[in-house]
């Protein structure tokens, strides 16, 4: 929650957090789901007032959060002595997304849901009766309805049907640090991270960075992250990784002693107004998209499923209108 400002995305995330918990309660915790909290820090005393009002906005909206100007060591012992103020969100939660996917897939398999691995969809055609799916290997599948969860590739799959959705790639890079004695208990984020998320100009190819530091159960430490509009380029840029590490070391100096064991880049599906598109997109109501989640697709996965369920016989979600592509029509 800590990087969201009150609004529709905030409301979606609040619902999703509760639904993730519901899933773990129901299916068990096999996905490293840990309520470890977020420590949002600023090194600039001039930004402390803004962090304080961000905390206040959250508490006014029912989220537990605290603003602190001392005693940081009890939350995060290795924070820099230069930290001026901290916001603490005790209910923020971490999950290992690959394990979560695996857990959900196993659950569906037990329910008898058919699946295919590594088959690529080459094209779709919809009419009033259903959807014809063409796979790259030449196979065809007939479906009543189709939900495309194909991230930044969704717009390309829909374009031949004359359907245009405003979702473009926003590249991000991360460093993974070796295991070691540096203790990172919570998610540590620079307060400036919130601004990099919310201030986006797709016509600007400049690289933005802001520190995010998270430990994992395996003992490695994830240091992120960057944001950049660079098309579908997934190459790693060492200069950006160096900048990310410099940002992180400013918050936690002891990270300088840990080696980087790998870096990676990914493409966040960025929708031009920052809200996902979870809706039917064709005239027959046969093709649905679940995309445009930018940097919070794991967090929003649960509410995305709940909204989608509303279109397939469940209760219509109160935010279904907010995530419909109809909002781009005006």
Ligand X SMILES: Cc1cc2nc3c(=O)[nH]c(=O)nc-3n(C[C@H](O)[C@H](O)[C@H](O)COP(=O)(O)OP(=O)(O)OC[C@H]3O[C@@H](n4cnc5c(N)ncnc54)[C@H](O)[C@@H]3O)c2cc1C
Binding residues for ligand X (CB under 6 A) = 120-121, 149-151, 153, 157, 172, 174, 224-225, 266, 268-269, 291, 293-299
Kindly tell me which of 124 and 252 has the beta carbon lying closer to ligand X.
124
Q: Minimum distance from CB of 304 to ligand X (Å)?
A: 8
Kindly tell me which of 42 and 96 has the beta carbon lying closer to ligand X.
96
CA–CA dist 51, 173 (Å, integer) = 25
When CB distances to ligand X are compared, the closest residue is 297
CA-wise closest residue to 289 among 135, 127, 159: 159
Q: Minimum distance from CB of 309 to ligand X (Å)?
A: 17
Kindly tell me which of 172 and 215 has the beta carbon lying closer to ligand X.
172
Helices (H), the chain: 8-27, 48-60, 97-110, 154-158, 192-198, 238-251, 301-311
Kindly tell me which of 84 and 149 has the beta carbon lying closer to ligand X.
149
Q: Minimum distance from CB of 217 to ligand X (Å)?
A: 15
Q: Minimum distance from CB of 179 to ligand X (Å)?
A: 20
CA–CA dist 313, 238 (Å, integer) = 49
Distances (CA, A) of 165 to 159, 233, 289, 291, 320: 8, 20, 9, 10, 17
Kindly tell me which of 52 and 298 has the beta carbon lying closer to ligand X.
298
Please classify residue 169 by burial: count the beta carbons closer than 10 Å to its beta carbon, then call 0-12 exposed, 13-18 middle and 19+ buried: buried
Please classify residue 58 by burial: count the beta carbons closer than 10 Å to its beta carbon, then call 0-12 exposed, 13-18 middle and 19+ buried: buried
Q: Minimum distance from CB of 321 to ligand X (Å)?
A: 20
């Amino acid at each position: 929650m800590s990087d969201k400002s009150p609004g529709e995305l905030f409301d979606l995330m609040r619902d999703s957090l509760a639904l993730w918990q519901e899933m773990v309660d129901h299916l068990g915790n096999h996905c490293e789901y840990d309520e470890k909290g977020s420590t949002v820090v600023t090194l600039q005393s001039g930004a402390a007032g803004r962090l304080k009002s961000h905390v206040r906005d959250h508490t006014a909206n029912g989220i537990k959060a605290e603003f602190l100007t001392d005693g940081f060591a009890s939350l995060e012992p290795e924070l820099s002595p230069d930290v001026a103020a901290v916001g603490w969100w005790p209910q923020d939660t971490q999950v290992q997304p690959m394990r979560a996917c695996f857990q959900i897939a196993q659950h569906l398999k037990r329910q008898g849901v058919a699946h295919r691995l590594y088959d690529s969809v080459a094209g779709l055609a919809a009419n009033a009766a259903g959807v014809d799916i063409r796979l790259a290997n030449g196979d065809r599948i007939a479906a009543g309805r189709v939900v495309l969860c194909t991230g930044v590739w969704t717009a390309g799959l829909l374009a031949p049907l004359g359907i245009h959705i405003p979702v473009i790639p926003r590249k991000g890079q991360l460093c993974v640090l070796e295991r070691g004695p540096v203790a990172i208990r919570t998610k540590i984020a620079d307060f400036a991270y919130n601004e990099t998320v919310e201030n986006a100009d797709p016509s600007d190819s400049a690289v933005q960075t802001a520190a995010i530091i998270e430990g994992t159960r395996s003992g490695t430490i994830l240091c992120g992250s960057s944001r950049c509009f660079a098309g579908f380029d997934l190459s790693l840029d060492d200069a950006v990784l160096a900048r990310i590490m410099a940002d992180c070391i400013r918050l936690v100096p002891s990270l300088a002693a840990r080696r980087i064991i790998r870096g990676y880049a990914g493409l966040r599906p960025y929708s031009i107004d920052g809200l996902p598109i979870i809706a039917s997109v064709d005239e027959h109501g046969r093709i649905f998209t679940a995309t445009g989640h930018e940097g919070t697709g794991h967090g929003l996965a649960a509410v995305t499923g709940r909204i989608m369920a509303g279109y397939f016989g469940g209760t219509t979600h109160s935010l279904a209108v907010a995530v419909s592509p109809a909002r781009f029509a005006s």
